[in-house]
Amino acid sequence: MGLGAYVAVSAALFVLGLIAILVRRNVIYILMGIEMILNAANINFVAFNRFGSMKLDGQMFAVFVIILAAAEAAVALAIVLNVFNLFDSVKPSEADLLRE
Amino acid sequence: MNPVSPYLAGLRYVAPEVLLTLVALAALVWDLVLRGRDSRKVGYLTLGGLLATGWLLVQQWRDLGASSTGALGTTVLGMVTIDRFGTFFKLFTVGALLVVTLFVLFDRREKKHGIGEYYFLLLGAAIGIFFMVSTNNLLLLMLGLELLSLASYSLAGFHKGDKRSGEAALKYIVFGGLSAGVMLYGISLLYGLTGTIDLGVMGRGSADGSAVGLAAQFALSPVPIAIAIVLVLAGFAYKVSVVPFHFWTPDVYEGAPTPVTTFLAVASKAAGFAALLRFMGALFLVEGVDAAVAAYADRIGLLLAILAAVTMTLGNLSALRQSNLKRLLAYSSIAHAGYALMGVAVMTSAGFSAAIFYLAAYYLMNLGAFGFLLYFEGVTGSEDVDALKGLGWRYPLVSCAMVVMLVSLTGLPPTVGFYGKLLLFYEGVEAGYAWLVVIAALNSVVSLFYYFRVAKALFLTDVEEKPALAQPVLASVIAVLAVFTIVTGLFNAPLEAWSDAGPASLGIPSATGSR
């Protein structure tokens, strides 16, 4: 399998993640969409590293992105839990005290 | 040779970062030891740590002055670059953090106990900023940015029982996570196209041929390059709240605790600009870039100029309609992001200097304005402009200081805001963006209306007799900031020299980009 296949998969994942974020109303799905985008970037990093005969920059980047994703998920879920306690809902559209 | 020794030698360069990390950990541990009792002690520890870090940074600035290029070098693996540009922003970050810490300590509405994490999170965010503004490596840039973001998300939701705070945190992390993901995807494409994650190598190409410079890729694959750069710019645009990535700003600024809003509006935004300036500088403006790259820089500049025009117009027009002072300042900060973006858009060394100067001015006047907001939240318990009516006569010192801030935010002499705008406008015209300067000038006139409304509420309404409520520390912080705003406006030469040193230390020749 060539580089093109990997890049295609990653692009598809990126678009799917974007769609999930834009279409879904539930914040859990939105967070999953964000994870998909991060993993799309990861596939790119590893694939470019593998096919580009470069130094290990891409692999290293991917490892750090995994850590970032975990940290972000932890903070995000804590915030979502707090919002659920306050609003009895995990839909951003129902937390709407702040507006014009 | 001992394989560890280059790393140990590199530690000297990151002494401020190391100290700040130690202070952050000490704050966390001490809070645990105190079991949440009397969190003010942790706050004083934070103040002390910040002062020590500031002292180290001043030393570093002196060392940098001794070097001809204004850059000291890079730690191992090319991760951290120490130059005047980075140190300038670090110094201002420490200054802003000092003020924000004082705000937290003397916020009348904040609890006195069990808020030790507040300081830990602020320090964590500062460490993120430090690495973000002093690296040419996209991995470290991203890690610094995420460290700042993750701390900011938690800070925005710091009042756990407060619905508005919770909602602000939720909106912040949804937008923030999305833009960080988009930016990472852009970086992964840039990596694939050039074979490096180092901005310096990306701009010029590497000597051994292991990495292709951007110049070669413009010819080979123009569309992927354009997509990658736009995606990365989207990440920056979110951080500095430029249209169309500004939606989170008013809501998050309004819902977050006021000291946190101050931090987000001032330190976080300036850090975003610093990283953006370094990114643009290293890719497009450094010495020895290709002619094709320089031509591309003009196109990116035009895109940024359009975004700047839209951002400042939208920010100012939306601010006109606000009755909530916090939200008004949020929209005003969007407008100011538009002004500062002008300096980036002109894509010259002098334009970058003007943007850096304007950011320095922005630190001073917005810290003061948010301090005023905090002061009157403590007095009235309300964020409404109407609640300020007649308070000017009861709190003359703070209110006069606020009027100075408002004059500076509008961009009228003799304040630093005026001189900053003057520099930006001048460089804008020089670079051929006269239309943008006209829009910016009209915007300044519009902003006069809503800034004046605050001053009018303070002074031009009847006095209501009530005993005044003294908050001496906040008042003196605000007064000092106001004095600085005027003094740096009148004697702007040192600040201008410092901001000029920034682009030079990035390796941007002073004549680039002039058309």
Domain residue ranges of chain B, discontinuous segments joined by +: 286-515
Q: What's the mean pLDDT when you consider all of chain B?
A: 89
How far A1 CA sits from the closest chain B CA (Å)? 17
CB count, 10 Å around CB of B221? Answer: 15
Is there a contact between B180 and A75 if contact means CB atoms under 8 Å apart?
A: no
Please check whether residue B78 touches A, CB under 8 A: no
For residue B39, what pLDDT is reported? 87
Query: Which of B166, B178, B185 faces A40 most closely, judged by CB atoms?
Result: B185
**Which range scores top for mean pLDDT: B60-69, B92-101, B204-213, B294-303?**
B92-101
For residue B19, what pLDDT is reported? 95
For residue B70, what pLDDT is reported? 67
Is there a contact between A37 and B181 if contact means CB atoms under 8 Å apart?
A: yes
Please check whether residue B210 touches A, CB under 8 A: yes
CA of A47: which chain B residue's CA is closest?
Answer: B192
Q: Distance (Å, rounded) from C-alpha A40 to C-alpha A22?
A: 17
For residue B157, what pLDDT is reported? 93
Q: Distance (Å, rounded) from C-alpha B171 to C-alpha B166?
A: 9
Query: Of the given ranges (B221-235, B291-305, B410-424), which has the lowest mean pLDDT?
Result: B291-305
Across the range B270-290, mean pLDDT stands at 88
Q: Distance (Å, rounded) from C-alpha B95 to C-alpha B80?
A: 22
CA of A11: which chain B residue's CA is closest?
Answer: B185
Contact B430, B346 (CB under 8 A): yes
* Residues in chain B closer than 8 A to A30 (CB atoms): 174
Q: State the pLDDT confidence band at B337, using cuts at 50, 70 and 90.
A: very high
* Residues in chain B closer than 8 A to A75 (CB atoms): 150, 153-154, 173
pTM of the model: 0.94
Q: Distance (Å, rounded) from C-alpha B92 to C-alpha B81?
A: 18
Q: State the pLDDT confidence band at A96, using cuts at 50, 70 and 90.
A: confident
Please check whether residue B234 touches A, CB under 8 A: no
B163-194 helix and A57-87 helix, angle to the nearest 10 degrees? 160
For residue B513, what pLDDT is reported? 44
Across the range A27-56, mean pLDDT stands at 90
Q: Which of A71, A68, A6 is nearest to B139 (CA)?
A: A68
Tokens at A33, concatenated: 């969409």
Rounded to whole angstroms, what are the CA distances from B180 to B151, B185, B251? 14, 9, 19
Q: Distance (Å, rounded) from C-alpha B295 to C-alpha B204?
A: 15
Tokens at B450, concatenated: 């809503």
Is there a contact between B174 and A38 if contact means CB atoms under 8 Å apart?
A: no
The DSSP annotation for B86-122 comes to HHHHHHHHHHHHHHHHHHHHT-TTS-SSS-HHHHHHH
Is the pLDDT confidence value at B171 over 50? Answer: yes
Is the pLDDT confidence value at B515 over 60? Answer: no
Q: Which of B440, B512, B84, B31 is nearest to B281 (CA)?
A: B512
Q: Per DSSP, which regions of B249-311 are E strands? A: none
Q: State the pLDDT confidence band at B26, using cuts at 50, 70 and 90.
A: very high
Q: Which of B261, B256, B276, B246 is nearest to B89 (CA)?
A: B276
Query: Residues B237-258: pLDDT tens digits?
Result: 999 999 889 989 999 999 999 9
Is the pLDDT confidence value at B298 over 80? Answer: yes
Q: Which of B135, B124, B101, B134 is nearest to B21 (CA)?
A: B124
Is there a contact between B139 and A57 if contact means CB atoms under 8 Å apart?
A: yes
Query: Of the given ranges (A27-41, A51-65, B224-238), which has the lowest mean pLDDT?
Result: A51-65
Contact B46, B23 (CB under 8 A): yes
End-to-end CA, chain B: 51
Tokens at A43, concatenated: 């596939």
CA of A56: which chain B residue's CA is closest?
Answer: B196
Q: Which residues contact B219 (CB under 8 A, 6 or more apart)?
A: B292
Across the range B311-338, mean pLDDT stands at 94
Give percent of chain B with pLDDT exceeding 70: 95
Test the A interface: residue of B154, B191, B201 with most A CBs within 10 Å: B191
Tokens at B178, concatenated: 């999305």
Query: Residues A1-16: pLDDT tens digits?
Result: 788 899 999 999 999 9
Size of interface A-B (CB pairs under 8 A): 132
For residue B73, what pLDDT is reported? 67
Q: Distance (Å, rounded) from C-alpha B147 to C-alpha A80?
A: 19
Query: Which of A34, A86, A96 faces B178 most closely, judged by CB atoms?
Result: A34
For residue B44, what pLDDT is reported? 94
Sign of CA dihedral B464, B467, B471, B472: positive
Which DSSP helix (H) or strand (E) runs through B376? helix B349-380
Is there a contact between A54 and B150 if contact means CB atoms under 8 Å apart?
A: no
For residue B1, what pLDDT is reported? 58
Across the range B340-368, mean pLDDT stands at 93
How far B85 CA sits from the closest chain A CA (Å)? 26
Q: State the pLDDT confidence band at B514, using cuts at 50, 70 and 90.
A: very low
End-to-end CA, chain A: 53
Q: State the pLDDT confidence band at B477, using cuts at 50, 70 and 90.
A: very high
Torsions phi, psi for B106 (to 5 deg): -110, 20
Is the pLDDT confidence value at B464 over 70? Answer: no
CB count, 10 Å around CB of A58? Answer: 26
Across the range B291-306, mean pLDDT stands at 87
Is there a contact between B188 and A76 if contact means CB atoms under 8 Å apart?
A: no
Q: What is the DSSP letter of B510?
A: T
- Dmax (CA) of chain A: 53
Which DSSP helix (H) or strand (E) runs through B82? strand B81-83
Q: Distance (Å, rounded) from C-alpha B498 to C-alpha B303?
A: 28
Give A54's Cβ-side CA count (13 Å radius): 25
Test the B interface: residue of A23, A34, A79 with most B CBs within 10 Å: A79
Amino acid at B347: M
Is the pLDDT confidence value at B204 over 80? Answer: no
Contact B345, B437 (CB under 8 A): no
Q: State the pLDDT confidence band at B388, using cuts at 50, 70 and 90.
A: confident
Class of domain A3-88: mainly alpha
Q: Distance (Å, rounded) from C-alpha B467 to C-alpha B271?
A: 41
Q: Counting beta carbons within 10 angstroms of the beta carbon of residue B1, is it exposed (0 to 12), middle (13 to 18) or buried (19 or more)?
A: exposed
Is there a contact between B211 and A54 if contact means CB atoms under 8 Å apart?
A: yes
For residue B511, what pLDDT is reported? 63
Contact B39, B116 (CB under 8 A): yes
Cα radius of gyration rounded to whole Å, chain B: 22
* Residues in chain B closer than 8 A to A100 (CB atoms): 321
Q: Distance (Å, rounded) from C-alpha B45 to C-alpha B104?
A: 13
CA of B327: which chain A residue's CA is closest?
Answer: A100
B141-180 residues touching A, CB cutoff 8 A? 142-143, 146, 150, 153-154, 157, 160-161, 163-164, 166-171, 173-174, 177-178, 180
Is the pLDDT confidence value at B96 over 60? Answer: yes
Test the A interface: residue of B137, B173, B212, B230 with most A CBs within 10 Å: B173
Test the B interface: residue of A29, A34, A42, A94 with most B CBs within 10 Å: A34
Across the range B144-152, mean pLDDT stands at 96
Q: Distance (Å, rounded) from C-alpha B286 to C-alpha A1?
A: 39
